[in-house]
Amino acid sequence: MRCAFRKALAAAVLAFTATASHAADWIQPPAWEADVDTRLVSSDGQRSFVNGGLGTLRFDATESGLRLGRARFALSQALGEIWSLRLDASAWGDHDRNPVDLTEAYLQFRPYPFAGYRFRLKAGAFYAPISLENRAAGWESPYTLSYSAINTWLGEELRTIGVEGQADWLGTHTGHGFDLELTGGVFGWNDPAGVVIANRGFNFSDRQTTLFGRVGASNSGPLQPLELFHEIDSGPGYYAGVEGRYFDRIVIRALHYDNRADPEAFDRGIHMSAWETHFNSVGLRVEGANGWTAIVQWLAGQSYVEPDDEDMRWPFRARFALLSRQIGNHRLSIRYDSFAVDGESDDGDGAQHGHAWTAAYVFEPNTHRPDVKCKVTLEWLRVTSDSPYRVIELGTPAVATETQVQLAVRFALGPLAR
């Protein structure tokens, strides 16, 4: 009897130990990253969008000097082997409603591949796979501080708040030279997407709109503050995309997006219409063994609203070409952007045409510690744009050339830092 009891006790202890060790495997300590990016800015830009103006730069002439580029904290929590939770919070140092807010928050399901195929699922708030430039953590660009017109717009107005599924064929793991990926997303809470393009046009910034934030200043600007992540018509939008990769050298992405908003819907709480916005995007990135990278991306679509049966449409298109070369710890990049919004409303509001040149130098010194990274970036950006709205709203000439020079020093700390 005593022997049997001992055996049972030993078995129970063993079972508990096994369970405990399994539980210890299941819940891992979170991986994290904290970044601070400070800027020395010189700008002759017109009143910026975050200040309620029609300028095309993140920092306007009144904001030259020492500025916060971004303070960011990211957390990745593994939940067992195939589930994980990701949170990305940022402070941008401007007068948003919340001083710190989330840019992304999602749960990811990523089972192991089976016979060369894999299925992935994301649920929450995150970026759709469109940009080929914003490939670094925090949806930052490793090439320049300011994103291209296309990707600045995606960061300002778009976020998938919903579910995204991806099916991969891992050809490079089965003796072939390329991988394929199909993506489909269903989302809500993005019905205002398109309002910024119609009201101001394209912009050049790295200021991503936060999930609970409010874009624009509440004081006396021509543009009223906007809350972009709202559901107005109670109907979901969707996107569908495809990506092909040739080894790690060439990536091509194409995506169709439609928020399927009801252009007659209006939310009296936030005083905003639902903007029916759809677009197509295609991008190509080529990387060579000698440190060269070339990216081209193209996007074209249309936003429209129908308040009081009045049909107001803003077709828009933008493209850019980026050339970059890495030599050791140094990287030089140059980008040309071209963008246009055709204001087809009765009064011609919101039309904008322009182009921009960006040049950036990035230096990443060796820190000799894997969890500490440092990056110094010098960027010059010049945007020339023609916007009749300036004449109507500000009484200033329609054409403006704005220049911004930024020197950024960024420190990143933590196991996820890179």
Partner 1 sequence: MFQSRYIVSAVLLFGGLLQATGAFAATLTVAVQTSDGRPLTGAVVTVRVLSGANHPAAPVNAVMDQVNRAFVPDVLVIPAGSTVEFPNSDSVNHQIYSFSPARKFQLPLYRGKRYPPVRFDQVGFVTLGCNIHDSMLAYVLVTDAPYFGRTDPTGAWSVEVPSGSYRVTVWHPRMRESTELEREVTIGDAERTAVTVRLTKPLQPAPLEGPHSWDAY
Q: Which residues bind partner 1 (CB under 8 A)?
A: 25, 28, 31, 78, 81-82, 110-116, 118, 127, 129, 131, 134-139, 142, 168, 170, 172-175, 177, 179, 247-249, 287, 289, 293, 326, 370-371, 415-416, 418
Nearest to partner 1 of 140, 191 (CB atom): 140
Nearest to residue 406, comparing CAs of 205, 138, 148? 205
Nearest to partner 1 of 65, 365 (CB atom): 365
Q: Give the whole-angstrom CA distance, residue 215 versus residue 132.
A: 25
Nearest to partner 1 of 132, 261 (CB atom): 132
Nearest to partner 1 of 31, 85 (CB atom): 31
Q: Give the whole-angstrom CA distance, residue 257 versus residue 131.
A: 13
Nearest to partner 1 of 282, 394 (CB atom): 282
- Show Cβ contacts of residue 1 under 8 Å, excluding neighbours closer than 6 positions: none
Most distant pair of Cα atoms in the chain: their distance: 98
Q: Give the whole-angstrom CA distance, residue 400 versus residue 404.
A: 13
Task: Name the DSSP letter for residue 136.
Answer: B
* β-strands 237-246, 250-258 pairing: antiparallel
Nearest to partner 1 of 3, 115 (CB atom): 115
* Least gap, CB of 332 to partner 1 (angstroms): 15
Nearest to partner 1 of 33, 63 (CB atom): 33
Nearest to partner 1 of 135, 382 (CB atom): 135
- Backbone angle region of 25, left / alpha / beta, with phi > 0 → left and psi within -120 to 50 → alpha: alpha
* Least gap, CB of 415 to partner 1 (angstroms): 4
- For 269, counting Cβ atoms within 10 Å of its Cβ (0-12 exposed, 13-18 middle, 19+ buried), the class is exposed
* Least gap, CB of 245 to partner 1 (angstroms): 9
* Least gap, CB of 135 to partner 1 (angstroms): 5
3-state secondary structure of 156: helix
Distance, C-alpha 114 to centroid of its chain: 30
* Least gap, CB of 140 to partner 1 (angstroms): 9
* Least gap, CB of 240 to partner 1 (angstroms): 18
Nearest to residue 147, comparing CAs of 209, 88, 192, 105? 209
**Cα–Cα–Cα angle for 225, 229, 235, rounded to 5 degrees:** 130
* β-strands 178-188, 312-327 pairing: unpaired
* Least gap, CB of 289 to partner 1 (angstroms): 6
Per the listing, tokens 């080894």 go with 247
* Least gap, CB of 321 to partner 1 (angstroms): 18
